[in-house]
Structure 1
Amino acid sequence: MRFVYEDSIPDDAISRTVKEVIETINPLKYFDLSHRNSHGYDSVNMLQCVLLAFGYVSLRKLASLCRYDIRFQFIMDGQTPSHMAFHRFIHDDLKMPIEEIFYDLNRYFEKNDTIDADILYIDSTKFEDNANKMTFVWMKATKKFREKRWIRIMDRLESLNRYCKKEELPYRFSILKEFSFEYLAEITDTLDRIMRSKHIEEQHGRGHAFTLEQTKESVKGRYPRTIQFYHNEHCEGCPLRSQCTRSKHRRTLQRTDKLAEMQIEIRENLMTETRQELLKQRSIQAEGIFGQIKQDQEYDRLWRRKKTMVKLELLLVSIGHNLRKYHTHKMQKQKTNQKSHS
């Protein structure tokens, strides 16, 4: 007796939405099956499984889901492809670039859902790289810098202890050998109390003026720009030089007038209420999506390596997120229609 998966999946399951979307957009144009024999897995079902996994799982995990998850069993009709079968499908059978599939699905969502495509919100986020096991590129440099910085902090605390003793203040700071974020926060709070008790205000001086040294035309990057180089002539003999710069000669800085003008223009553009509302919506729309992907779906580390494979993975994650959002809106509309008819 053959098990019927159709009867085991509820009507509001996301696997039904995935089948509906993929079968509507004519997925056969995505595949190159010239090298396949007649005994291979159905490519449409394989694509649906890959998209249903939202890109958040490895190929081995995807193969396991086809064995034990009823949603994937429903799509594959009980078949259990191996992780190598999914690997061959992604690398050999998908002849159309993943970007084209992404665009086709987005056009389907715009046609069948209420989406405002007039405004584009742009944001960025960071994902952990899939580096070799037990390696971290900047680990040694980070530890070395932290240790040196901690020694300098403890030296300052010793000077502060002498100051508190001289002024008869009831504060003494312990000199620790190991780095501690909690202790740094405690030091900051204590210093704030000392400054308030002594009526000490924070002062931000302008320092010495910089002198224009030279102007260069730079063609590096995407756009050419004019860079102005300034230097400070008052570094020689300055008692704060070691805290201001590590240069052997003098303090320098760079300035690009075009970039400064653009920053001023951006600040002026954001002064209107309409554009402030757009900025507010950007934080909701763009940053909220990254929160859902990284926190809710626990996807904060890449599974694949190389630029092309990372691009493939991130586009699969984006397609999966859009499918999930479309499914949620679709279920909400159905519930609204049912309430209006009842």
Structure 2
Amino acid sequence: MDYEQIIDDCDSVVSFKEVVGGLYLRKYITTSSKGRHEYDPEVMLQLILFGFMENIRSLRQLEKACRTDIRFLYLEDRIKPSFMAYQRFIDTKLKISIDDIFTVINQFLIEKESINTQILSVDGTKIEANARKISFAWKKAILNYQSKLFIKITKQLRSLRQDLPGFHYDIQDSYQAGSLTAVCQQLEAHIEKEGINFVYGQGHRKSRIQRHYELLKKHRILH
């Protein structure tokens, strides 16, 4: 069956395929010269990522979608992986987590399409069309990503306040990369003043201040 003739050009799966087609997904996949892949690894990753975008987090639900949802049939090139096949793929083939890959894609879209996430409406519809428009489903995904990131940052700052009572930074509804840089600089000054040494590698236990600093620095980069 030619699914391209059935699926509407405005469907989110079309824009998804367009976006991932412009990315080198194989760099996130561990390759091996021994034996054959159970399924095409790039197709497997596409199916998982599209499921992620559609808020399908259960591998059993993903298996079902690949058998019944025409959009997944459009992506899967006639393969129908079981939930166990997905689990093996995630456990043995991916270099980084699905969350991290999805974050990279969102950041790629924000930069490529010059998306100003501060002016998007809550439902993601009030956005000017670009020459190569990406469906609002992707922009909803970006909003969801940033919303979850802001929640993580707030949680981290509250935890930091408990561990470092002298630390002062207002909890906000949203955060700019520049403001997170200021937080990191405050922490750097405290770390230098107290002579706190960072440790790395197995057998070394990181201090809570080091963990706070590294997480906030990561959030600043992902912002």
TM-score, length basis structure 2: 0.51
Letter paired with 1:65: A
User: What is aligned with 1:107?
Assistant: 107
**Conserved 8 A contact 2:63-2:82:** yes
Cα distance, 1:44 vs structure 2:
1.3
- For 1:61-114, what per-residue CA distance to the aligned partner results, in whole angstroms no more than 9, with x for missing partners? 111111111000000022211111110111111123446524431331122334
User: What is aligned with 2:58?
Assistant: 58
- Give me the whole-angstrom Cα distance separating, in 2, the residues matched to 1:108 and 1:20: 13
- Give me the whole-angstrom Cα distance separating, in 2, the residues matched to 1:266 and 1:13: 41
Going from structure 1 to structure 2, the CA distance change for 1:36 and 1:94 (only over 3 Å counts) comes to farther
**Conserved 8 A contact 1:25-1:108:** no
- Give me the whole-angstrom Cα distance separating, in 2, the residues matched to 1:88 and 1:117: 35
Aligned length: 137
Q: Is 1:19 the equivalent of 2:47?
A: no
Cα distance, 1:38 vs structure 2:
2.9
User: What is aligned with 1:71?
Assistant: 71
- For 1:223-252, what per-residue CA distance to the aligned partner results, in whole angstroms no more than 9, with x for missing partners? 3x4xxxxxxxxxxxxxxxxxxxxxxxxxxx
Greater length-normalized contact order (CA 8 Å, ≥ 6 residues apart): 1
- Give me the whole-angstrom Cα distance separating, in 1, the residues matched to 2:65 and 2:103: 27
- Give me the whole-angstrom Cα distance separating, in 1, the residues matched to 2:170 and 2:93: 46
User: What is aligned with 1:40?
Assistant: 38
Structure showing greater Rg: 1
- For 1:18-63, what per-residue CA distance to the aligned partner results, in whole angstroms no more than 9, with x for missing partners? 2222221211101113176335211111111111112434111111
- Give me the whole-angstrom Cα distance separating, in 1, the residues matched to 2:151 and 2:88: 33
Give the share of equivalent positions with the same residue, in percent. 32
- Give me the whole-angstrom Cα distance separating, in 2, the residues matched to 1:78 and 1:7: 16
Q: After the TM superposition, which parts of structure 1 deviate over 6 Å for at least 4 consecutive aligned residues?
A: none
What is the DSSP-based 3-state SS (H/G/I as helix, E as strand, rest coil) of the residue aligned with 2:27?
Answer: helix
**Conserved 8 A contact 1:66-1:80:** yes
Where is the strand percentage greater, Structure 1 or Structure 2?
1
| Structural RMSD (CA) | 3.4
Going from structure 1 to structure 2, the CA distance change for 1:37 and 1:75 (only over 3 Å counts) comes to farther
**Conserved 8 A contact 1:25-1:104:** no
Going from structure 1 to structure 2, the CA distance change for 1:65 and 1:109 (only over 3 Å counts) comes to same
State how 1:134-283 maps to structure 2 within 5 Å: 222-223=163-164, 225=165, 258=166, 262=168, 266=170, 282=174
User: What is aligned with 2:200?
Assistant: none
